[in-house]
Structure 1
Amino acid sequence: MTRTPSLFAAVLVLTGTLLASTACAGAPSGSDAAQTPTPLATSPTPTASPTQSTAPAGDPTCETIIPATTVADFESVGWTARAETFRIGELEIPEGVQCVWGDFTTATDHVQIYGWAPITAEDAVDAQNALVAQGWRREETPEGLIVTESADTTVATDDEGYGLTYLFGDGWVKYADTKQGLLLVTWS
């Protein structure tokens, strides 16, 4: 499966630009005071949160695990999401969601993948060990424990050379088609 790095990069740049413009927005002054105010983005900055162990209220969905601005960007180019049960190898976590975003009106392998699920410490260790036994790499990061597919078998990578990647935190696991993609999984 190939993924569209240029679209992914564009989404990241657009999300970063929207967040930066939100952070720089201030109260109107002088002649700007008469202008109609523009709503500011309310999405949280897309960062991993390794210490937060309580999920937000409600169930995770394809539209809630990533920022609303990213969902809007995908929808603006005709993309929709297919929700599946969150899986790590043989382990299924029905309380989670794994989403494939793409244009399913045509045959394509240009998609983006994101997922989030609650996970017990025991299941996390078992899943990590199973992935490593299959040749995946495990590494500690400030965000949490990352397990990523082997560089020898990955189809597409981010700028740092990471393909499919899981990020394990305290009571949760995130998944994306690249390590950089994990930044967009804001549900935790």
Structure 2
Amino acid sequence: MFPPRHRLGAALVLALFAGAGVTACAAQPAPAPQVTETTAGTPTASAPEPSATPTQDAAAEDPTCETLIGPEIVADFESVGWTSQAEELYIGDRMLDEGLQCVWADFEGPAGDHLQMFGWGRISADDASESQAWLVSQGWIREDSDSGVYITTPKGTAIVVDDDGYGMTYLFGDGWVKFADTKQGILLIEWPKP
């Protein structure tokens, strides 16, 4: 269930859309079928058309710390006073030209190890192979899966681990790599947007 502030935000958005629909109907001479469609709720089929264009545009854009993960996660972080810092994404000493790493934490509070990291970047097949080989040579563990190739720190050496004992993890896919401070954290990365 969403916190009350999310329900209030959703109610405001619905009210704005309803108000825009009334204004749009009032601006045009509305024949009877259009009024019936409005009350029947068929205009919702036309609502996705405007949102389809921003989704296509968003896929062409670069990710930000607020779009790399889901809006619910961002809202949860912000509700406890966390903000993000954007950094370059590295694999060892290799910086990805088209990569982003986000560190979420309470940067105004006392220093500590309470933070979360998420990253995503484009990577060529050759660079991905070299990076995977380098990580494995450093003791990282490789696991092949249907999702791609996971490379994670050896169990027992990670400072922060998920429920399965995995620490920092990279997931290599076709032309991209994801990074999180735990393997389960990879699941929170929602980039690229569909």
| Same fold? TM cut 0.5 | yes
Q: Normalization by structure 1: what TM-score?
A: 0.70
Question: What's the CA shift string for 1:73-98, capped at 9, x where partnerless?
Answer: 10111000011001000110131100
In the alignment, structure 1 residue 78 sits paired with structure 2 residue 81: yes
Question: What's the CA shift string for 1:79-128, capped at 9, x where partnerless?
Answer: 00011001000110131100110000121210001000000000000100
**Once the two structures are aligned, what percentage of the paired residues are identical?**
54
Which of 1 and 2 has greater Rg?
2
Correspondence for 1:60: 63
- Of residues 156, 170, 173, the one that matches 2:177 is 173
Deviation at 1:161, TM superposition (A): 1.1
Question: What are the ranges of 5 or more consecutive residues in structure 1 without an aligned counterpart?
Answer: 1-16, 19-35, 40-54
Map 1:46-125; keep pairs closer than 5 Å.
56-106=59-109, 107-125=111-129
Question: What are the ranges of 5 or more consecutive residues in structure 2 without an aligned counterpart?
Answer: 3-10, 15-57
More helix by share: 2
Map 1:5-84; keep pairs closer than 5 Å.
56-84=59-87
Which fold has the larger relative contact order, with Cα–Cα distance below 8 Å and residues 6 or more apart in sequence? 1
Root mean square deviation, CA, Å: 1.7
Q: Normalization by structure 2: what TM-score?
A: 0.68
CA distance in 2: counterparts of 1:90 and 1:82, whole angstroms: 20
Deviation at 1:37, TM superposition (A): 8.8
Correspondence for 2:148: 144
Question: What's the CA shift string for 1:25-64, capped at 9, x where partnerless?
Answer: xxxxxxxxxxx6986xxxxxxxxxxxxxxx9221111111
